[in-house]
Amino acid sequence: MPSPEPLRFRLNGHPAEVPCGSARVLLDLLREDLALTGTKRGCDLGTCGCCTVLLDGRPTLSCLTLARLVGGHEVTTIEGISPPGGLSAVQAAFVERGATQCGFCTPGFIVTATALLRDHPHPDRDEIVRAISGNLCRCTGYTKIIEAIEAAAGSRP
Amino acid sequence: MAATTPSPYRLLGGKIPYIEGPLKVTGRAEYTDDFRRPGMLVARLLRSPWPHARLRSIDARRARALPGVFAVLTGERYPTPFGVLPITHDETAIAVGKARYTGDIIAAVAAQDEVTAEAALALIEVDAEPLPEYSDPRIGLSKVEAPIHDRGLNGSNIQKEVVQHFGDVDAAFARAAYSVRVRGVFAGVTHAFTEPMATIAEATPDGRLTVWSATQVPHYLHRSLSEVLGLPMHRIRVIKPEVGGGFGGKSDPLPHEIVTAALSIETGRPVKLLMDREDVFYTNHGRHPTQNDVRIGLDAEGRILAYDIEALIDGGAWSSFGTVTTYYNGVLSMGPYRVPNFRYRGRRVYTNRPPSGAMRAHGGTNIRYSVEVALDRLAEEAKIDPFDLRARNALPPNSTTINEFRITSTSFLKCLDAARAASGWDRKFRQLDYGRGVGLGCGFYISGSNSPIHFTPKMPQSTVHLKVDMDGGIAVHSMQADIGQGSNTLLAAIVAEVLGVDLERVHVQRVDSDVSPIDLGSYSSRVTFMMGNAARSAAEQLKEKLVAAAAELLERPAPTLEVVHERIQVVGAPEVGVTFLDALHKAMEPVGALLATGSYNTSPKGGTFKGARAGTAPAYSFAAYVAEVDVDVETGEYRVDTIWAAFDCGRALNRLAVEGQIEGSIHMGLGQVMGETMSYRGARLFNPSLLEYKIPMPQQMPKVEILLVGDDDPEGPFGAKEAGEGPLIATLPAVGNALYDAIGVRFTELPITPDRVLRGLDLRRREGRPWKGA
């Protein structure tokens, strides 16, 4: 079997070129091949949102995305959202407000909220709730997550 | 927030962000599946497709011959039975001779990769003879053709029967002015934590075994590994990485953890087992499907005369925590009230369903729903306001219950007052429009258990070690298991509080049995109380050494000194003092790094009758919740708009964490009352995914108003009690009773789904019982 062309895409702002079979799922590529373990595997069925990454800026479930489909596109994971050595406004608000408990769903929420606030800098509560309705959290009852996103939005000009 | 006095403490009593927060928001926190070891193999499990079957033979030759397969294990290799309770060791790592539920592990494979492991599973040939399937606990009450375990009572499937009688219940009912009976039916529910279970094991040539596992109770895992694998505990090292939620589901030592370790021993290679979501559902150990029958009698003045309770509990395939469950369904029904006569019969029956076990507010949730609904009905019959009825029956502080629970602090009356005022109860109850209603539910739960499970009662339940070296950083070791509830943060905050130092100096170390002293872990809502006291004791000992050193430097007697922020100074002369680091370095001169050990144990409490220790705790939490609901009487759909949650956790040491526990508990309680169901056809689970097993979405969360009204507990660390489990309980009856206020229908079958609402409305109309003019 001829080995397929390497997969070329932009990952967290940098060009990436990795071997990748046609059946490889993006989540496996990120976690297993590239050791980007910040993206979490919660269900492998697109139900929990823990594996959310940005594909060309849009929140996307990496467990349901064939890796070869991101060729030529831009993928941003939780690792790419974190500024070097610091926290983004959304991340800082999650810490300050106690929006993490076990933290396993947290990267997915941060990724989703980051995209929301980029497109809608001042969302109302309903817009926030709609935006995060693809992410499950079993610890917080979402209360402090919503508060944190509101706080992060409020801290913007 | 209710009126609270300012905290006398520098850190405690405030909102302390979780110390792991920056790691969790950046994806840098490390969970078990994030680790890999050189040469690591992948493990997969072959699960039984039969609910109940005799395993005649298992032929793994073809699987073993598959290239890339390193080991195939079947049950007879490690047949030693184990279980979380020492009295009910009825599990084996892999099924031996018999499969007891659909999902029971009957073989395990270690292979070079997942694809090979899956292919190997398909090559294992199992010759099995199906046995009669038991899914109804009622059938299991008498002698059955093929008992699920040979330890069932008299050839039945009864795993545990508890009978208790205090006072004279029949005589009490004979003089009761009012009595009601509620028959509750509760579907099973499960934890649905987001991180699937995962374990990595590495047997090394030095004869040791290291196990990383997503567990709430590293110590019980350590013991079970030792028992089943036949290795002394000191040759096993258990490490707990970050854990992505547990809620009780990761508190049993679980078969896959032992299987993974066994595969590593067999292959000499590191092995990882990561469950998929379906595995997690079959592993279950969630809240038991339960039927209960609750009769309560009141006298003419509205005082409770007696409870008469029966509970029938579907245990699933194994005992797990079931003996405790069977006791708790009785003994946790009484508080927060004084009950002078009490009779209980509880039976937990094995079925061929995935095992049930401990889930947040274990043993208290279902029974308290039926009790609180019964009290709501009694209040109506006796024409007493539901709040007044509860207040009239409140257990006073420093009292003893009929079954000899020692009650010390209780702020239950304050909870009632706070919830009543904040919710506007007096202008809402029975006065809102048809379809809208308010309901009251109350809670009571243990703040830790006086009985350690696998332990001599003379050993401390929690130990904390501190080490300070010249860098001024304080390393904290303890086997307490942070699973997201914030116990690492509280541990650090208590140490920092006592020593007067910045929180950033305190480094809570990852749980590692080689260096962490034993704490029994995260179950029974014990950590704040027990670890907190142990941490305080350790820090006080260090503080004493630092103050003595400061006294020497300052040439002042130690009792004239005080510890303030990063400094030790003379009381009344704050300009005379030394820094924390100066005092530390002085104290280190004769000994090097400073060490301290603090520990905590409960004192034996409770009566002398059989089962007397079940439910005894060093303290109890109390709650009064009001829910306000809005019902669409055309569709049966309803939403919970607001929950006013008045809670007595003593002093809230980290308000951020306490609020988070209450909000999360309400979410989980709402899931159970509004829709979550482990859906079975006979013994088979039909919805093993998060798509079909729906936990509440953000849209369904009500506004939650938290009212923390607790007074300091006399024995809790800095006055604190539990807030991790008790906050769930009151949610369910508050909603059930609010639905009655809204539409005049009593719901005693959970979950209360829209179709049940419509059926209830239809029945009420056919019975000709108008409600609020409708």
What pLDDT, in 10s, does the model give residues B233-257? 999 999 999 999 999 999 999 999 9
Whether the pLDDT of residue B283 is over 50: the answer is: yes
Note the pLDDT of residue B455.
Answer: 66
Q: Rounded mean pLDDT of chain B? A: 97
- The answer to whether the Cβ–Cβ distance between B17 and A50 falls below 8 Å is no
Q: Which amino acid appears at position B309 of this protein?
A: I
Whether the pLDDT of residue B3 is over 50: the answer is: no
Nearest CB among A37, A47, A140 relative to B689 is that of A47
Note the pLDDT of residue A156.
Answer: 63
Average pLDDT, integer, range B381-403: 97
pLDDT band at residue B1, thresholds of 50, 70 and 90? very low
Note the pLDDT of residue B641.
Answer: 98
- The answer to whether the Cβ–Cβ distance between A91 and B656 falls below 8 Å is no
Note the pLDDT of residue B131.
Answer: 98
What distance in Å separates the CA atoms of residue B120 and residue B67, rounded to the nearest whole number? 9
- The answer to whether the Cβ–Cβ distance between A41 and B245 falls below 8 Å is no
Run of H or E including B272: strand B271-274
Whether the pLDDT of residue A145 is over 90: the answer is: yes
- The answer to whether the Cβ–Cβ distance between A139 and B15 falls below 8 Å is no
Interface test with A, best of B31, B194, B673 (most A CBs within 10 A): B194
Contact assessment for residue B342 and residue B377, using Cβ atoms and an 8 Å cutoff: no
- Residue B467: alpha-carbon gap to chain centroid: 31
Contact assessment for residue B440 and residue B419, using Cβ atoms and an 8 Å cutoff: yes
Q: Which residues contact B383 (CB under 8 A, 6 or more apart)?
A: none
- The answer to whether the Cβ–Cβ distance between B194 and A40 falls below 8 Å is yes
What distance in Å separates the CA atoms of residue B743 and residue B632, rounded to the nearest whole number? 10
Note the pLDDT of residue B688.
Answer: 97
Architecture of domain A89-154: Orthogonal Bundle (1.10)
pLDDT band at residue B6, thresholds of 50, 70 and 90? confident
**Structure tokens, A63:** 């467990």
Q: How far is CA B438 from CA B589, B647, B747, in A?
A: 65, 18, 15
Q: How close A155 gets to chain B, by Cα (Å)?
A: 18
Q: Which among B298, B294, B296 has a CA at the least distance from the CA of B382?
A: B298
What distance in Å separates the CA atoms of residue B258 and residue A81, rounded to the nearest whole number? 38
User: B6 vs B126, which has greater pLDDT?
Assistant: B126
What distance in Å separates the CA atoms of residue B371 and residue B316, rounded to the nearest whole number? 25
Note the pLDDT of residue B607.
Answer: 86
Q: Which residue is closest to A77 within chain B, CA to CA?
A: B27
Note the pLDDT of residue A157.
Answer: 54
What pLDDT, in 10s, does the model give residues B125-146? 999 999 999 999 999 999 999 9
Q: Which among B208, B204, B212, B209 has a CA at the least distance from the CA of B512?
A: B212
Task: Please tell me the total number of residues recorded for chain A in this structure.
Answer: 157
Interface test with A, best of B26, B32, B695, B701 (most A CBs within 10 A): B26
What whole-number percentage of chain A has pLDDT above 90? 93
pLDDT band at residue B2, thresholds of 50, 70 and 90? very low
Whether the pLDDT of residue B640 is over 50: the answer is: yes
Q: Which residues contact B654 (CB under 8 A, 6 or more apart)?
A: B12, B14, B15, B16, B486, B489, B490, B493
**Burial class of B51 by CB neighbour count within 10 A (0 to 12, 13 to 18, 19+):** buried
pTM of the model: 0.97
Exposure of B10 in the CB half-sphere (CA atoms within 13 A): 15
Average pLDDT, integer, range B600-621: 90
What pLDDT, in 10s, does the model give residues B197-241? 999 999 999 999 999 999 999 999 999 999 999 999 999 999 999
| 3 state DSSP class of B347 | strand
Note the pLDDT of residue B195.
Answer: 98
Nearest CB among B26, B663, B690 relative to A140 is that of B663
Note the pLDDT of residue B456.
Answer: 73
Token pair 């920056």: residue? B22
ipTM of the prediction: 0.98
DSSP state of A6: P
The dihedral sign for the CA sequence A57, A59, A63, A69: negative
Give chain B positions within 8 Å (CB) of A140: 660, 663-664, 667
Average pLDDT, integer, range B113-118: 96
Q: How close B603 gets to chain A, by Cα (Å)?
A: 32
- Residue B93: alpha-carbon gap to chain centroid: 23
Note the pLDDT of residue B452.
Answer: 82
Q: What domains are there in chain B, each with its CATH number?
A: 21-28+460-600 (3.30.365.10), 34-131+197-274 (3.90.1170.50), 290-451+608-766 (3.30.365.10)
What pLDDT, in 10s, does the model give residues B54-94? 999 999 999 999 999 999 999 999 999 999 999 999 999 99
What distance in Å separates the CA atoms of residue B499 and residue B566, rounded to the nearest whole number? 8
CATH topology for A7-81? Ubiquitin-like (UB roll) (3.10.20)
What distance in Å separates the CA atoms of residue A51 and residue B728, rounded to the nearest whole number? 28
What pLDDT, in 10s, does the model give residues B412-456? 999 999 999 999 999 999 999 999 999 999 999 999 999 887 767
Q: How far is CA A95 from CA A51, A145, B31, B703, B750, in A?
A: 20, 10, 18, 22, 36
